[in-house]
Chains A and B, each alone.
Chain A
Amino acid sequence: MIDLALFVAFPYVAVILAIVVGLYRYYTDRFSYSSLSSQFLENRTLFWGSVPFHYGILVILLAHLLALLFPGLWSSLIGAQARLYVLEVTGLALALMAIVGMALLFIRRLNNQRVLMVTSTIDWIFLVVLLAQILLGFWVALFFRWGSDWYLHTAVPWLISLATLSPQAQYVSVLPFIVKLHMLGGFLIIALFPFTRLVHFVTFPITYFWRPYQVVIWNRRVRAGVEVKK
C-alpha cells in the first residue's frame, strides 16, 4: 500500500503539479518565470559555485535521461568493462563537482548579506532538497555499485510503466532504502519545480542560436493582412 502511494501516486501527483501549476504560473505571472540571478550582488563565489554546479548537474541529468530514453544504446555503451569504469568515474567526478558547487552556493547565500536579502523561504527549502538529492545520488553511485547497469533494470522499467500508464511499483519496491529515497527525491523536485525559481530550467533560450540579432516590433505590421474590425 505504502509502495503504491510512494511509487505510483506520488510520481503522478508530482508530474501533474509540475505541468498544471507550471502552466498556470506561466500564463498568469510570466514576470516571475526566471532564475532571479544574484550575480549583480555578489560575483566571486558565484563563479566557483554556479559554474561547476550547473555543468555537473546538467551532464548527470542528461545521462539519467539518455539511459531512460535509449536503454538499448545505454546497455551496449556499458557493455565493455573499460567503458563502464570510465562512465562511472566520470559520473562520480561530475557529482562531486555539483556537490562542491552547490555547497558553495549554499554558504554564499547564508554568508553574503546582500544575497540573503533576495532569498525567500521557498528558496531555502528548495536548496536543501536539491543538496540532499545530489548527496543521495552520490551515495547511491558510490555504495551501490554499477548503478549505470541496475538502473536499466529497476528505475527504467518503473518509469516506463508510469509513462505508459500501467504503473508497476514492484520494480523498485525491493530496492534499498537510500536508493528509494533518491528516486522519491527526484519526484519531489519535480513537484517543487513550479513553485520555485527552478522554472528557469524550461526557459533556456535555445532560440538565440537562430534568431536575428536585431528585434524590431511593429504595431501596425503585426496585423498587416488581418482585416481590421470596424
Chain B
Amino acid sequence: MDIRAQVSMVFHLDKCIGCHTCSISCKNIWTDRKGTEFMWWNNVETKPGTGYPTLWEDQEKYKGGWVQDGDRLRLKLQGRFGALSSLFFNPYLPTVDDYYEPWTYQYDELFNAPEGDDQPTARPISMITGKYMDIEAGPNWDDDLGGSPVYAANDPNKDGLTDEERAQLNEVQRVVFFYLPRICNHCLNPGCVAACPAGAIYKRGEDGVVLLKQDQCRAWRMCISGCPYKKTYYNWSTGKAEKCILCYPRLESGQPPACFHSCVGRIRYLGVLLYDADRILDTASSSEAVLVEAQRAIIQDPFDPQVVSAARANGISDAMIASARISPVYKFVKQWMLALPLHPEFRTIPMLYYVPPMLPVLAAVKNGLYNVVGAGENGLAPLISSLEKARLPLRYMASLFAAGNEETVAAVYRKLIAVRLYMRHLTVKDVSLAEANQALNVGQTTAEEVQAIFRLTATPTFEERFVVPPMEREVAIEQTLDPFTHKTQAGFGFRQAPERRW
C-alpha cells in the first residue's frame, strides 16, 4: 500500500446556475495575459452541446487519454517513438479555431467618432493579429443551447441514443439542458504528464496538484493532445503550455481556489482524499463495466487503522489525515456514492467528481403539457418510478459519468430522489411516511444518511464545503532554507515576467 493524499473536488450539478462567475474569477486572476486570452482554465458549458474546445469529448478527433491495448494501457495519442517522431507536427493538435479567435472591440472609436448622423460602432478586432475580424465563435457560443441545431445536435454523448430519442430532444417542448463546469481534474493517471516529451508536467507528491514547469516546457505540444479533457492550453505568445494550478498559492494560505470561493450556486466542494498509489495502473486498466467502482475503490478509508499507518509511513501528517476524515469529497464520492467521475473511460482517474443533475431527468411532457414530476395530481409519488420516463435519457448521463453504465447513474438518482422525498416528508409534509420509506428503500439509504446528504447539499457552511487541508508549506520551506531567511526574502525573488526575451 502506497498511500498518498490528493486534494479533490465535487461539483453538485443540480446547484449550478450557469452564471460563469467561476470562469470570470479564474480569468481575472490567471489568464488575462497576452497569449492566454482564449484560455478558460475554468469553463462552464451547456449540455447537450459540443463544449470547449469544440467536440473535446470526441477522442477519435483529439486522441486524448488512455486506451486498453491487450493487457497494456497506452496513450491513445501515440507511443514513445511516435511522440518523438511527430515533434515537428502533431497531427491531433487543436488549433485556435477549435477554441475561438480572441477579440476585443475598438472602443476608442466610440469616444473619438466625429459628430454625425449615425451611431458610432466599435468593431471587433482580433487579439492575435490586431486586425478587424468577423466573430465566428466565442467561449460560450452555445450557451443555454444557442445554435443547438449545430452544437447540441452534435454532442458526442448522444451517440448512444436512438434516432427517436434524438429527434425528441430537438423538439422545442422537450428541449432540456444543464450546465457542466469544468476545470483540470488533477488526475491520478494524467494523460498530459505522460504525453510530455520534455517531462515538464508533474504531480505534486504531497497534495496531487498537477503543475507544468514553464521553464522546462519546450513547446512540443503533446500535453494538449494527451489530456482528454483539453485542460492544458498552448500560450501562442510565449510558446508554453499552461494549465489550471488549482490556485495552489491560495490553497497554501488556507483559502479555496478562486472558482470555488466565488461560486454563486455554491455547487463546489473541496477536500483531501487518501488513495493507494500502487493501484493506479490496475484501476486505470479496469474493464469498462467496473471502471467507476474501481475508481471509487482506489480511494481509501481515512478511518481504517491500516490505511492510517501506511499514510504515516509515507510522511502524511496527522493533520492531513484529520482533514481527510472531514473531507466533503470523501462523503460524496465514497461514503454516499453520489458523485461520479466525468468520462471515466478516458482512464486518467480524474479527481473532480460530479453529482449528476436531477432536473433534466425528472421533467417530462405528458398529454402535450410540460410537467415537472411532483407538480401533477399524483403528488410526488411518481418520482420513485420516474427514472424510466426521464426527459433526458439516462443513457446520456451514463455516457457522461459512468462509461455507459446506466445502472451506475440510476443508483445515484434513486438516492437523490430518496433525499428529496424524505426531506419533503419532513418539511413540507405532503409525502406520507410510507412513501418516504419506500423511497429510502429504493434508494438503498437510511434516514440519517439522507439528512446528512441534505445538510451538506442544501445548507453547508463555508468550512464544510471547503476543507482545505494543511498544505504544510512551512515544512517544504524548511527543507531548503532557514524559515527566517525565507521570511525576509519572500517576495524579492528573481522572478521574471513570462515573456520571451530571446
- A residues near B, CB below 8 A? 25, 29-43, 46-47, 50-51, 53-55, 113-114, 116-118, 195, 197, 199-200, 203-209, 211, 213-223, 228-229
Contact = CB atoms under 8 A, between A and B. Distances in A.
Interface string B217-238: 1111100000000000010111
Contact of A113 (B75, B131, B496): B131
B95 A41 contact: yes
Given A41-B128, A117-B129, A229-B482, A218 B198 contact: no
B206 A39 contact: no
Contacts of A197: 502
Contacts of B500: 31-32, 36
Given A39-B93, A208-B198, 9 more contacts: A31-B240, A34-B219, A34-B240, A42-B95, A46-B89, A50-B89, A118-B239, A219-B206, A221-B205
B193 A215 contact: yes
19 contacts: A31-B240, A32-B502, A40-B96, A40-B236, A47-B89, A54-B88, A118-B237, A118-B239, A200-B219, A206-B84, A209-B81, A209-B84, A213-B75, A215-B203, A216-B203, A217-B203, A219-B205, A220-B475, A220-B476
B219 A113 contact: no
Contacts of A55: 88
B95 A221 contact: no
A103 B193 CA distance: 35
Interface of B: 75, 80-81, 83-84, 87-91, 93-96, 128-131, 189-190, 193-194, 197-199, 201-206, 214-221, 234, 236-240, 280, 315, 475-476, 478-480, 482, 496, 498, 500-502
A207 B199 contact: yes
B502 A195 contact: yes
B218 A35 contact: yes
Nearest to B217: A34
Contacts of B189: 214
A219 B234 contact: no
B197 A205 contact: yes
Given A32-B501, A38-B236, A205-B199, A228 B478 contact: yes
Given A42-B95, A205-B197, A208-B197, A200 B90 contact: no
A226 to B, nearest CB: 8
CB-based closest 3 A-B pairs:
A36-B239, A218-B205, A205-B197
Contact of B93 (A29, A43, A113, A217): A43
Contacts of B219: 34-37, 200
A187 B148 CA distance: 59
Contacts of B496: 29, 31
A195 B204 CA distance: 34
Contacts of A211: 199
A167 B205 CA distance: 54
Contacts of A114: 96, 128-129, 236
Given A29-B501, A40-B95, A203 B218 contact: yes
A37 B131 contact: no
A166 B308 CA distance: 69
Contacts of A228: 478-479
A176 B280 CA distance: 64
B129 A39 contact: no
Nearest to A229: B482
A30 B216 contact: yes
B100 to A, nearest CB: 13
A23 B459 CA distance: 58
Contact of A200 (B218, B475, B480): B218
Nearest to A46: B89
Contacts of A34: 217-219, 239-240
B84 A205 contact: yes
A182 to B, nearest CB: 24
Given A29-B496, A34-B239, A41-B96, A209 B215 contact: no
A213 to B, nearest CB: 4
B44 to A, nearest CB: 23
A155 to B, nearest CB: 28
Nearest to A199: B502
A118 B499 CA distance: 12
Contacts of B91: 47
A58 B214 CA distance: 27
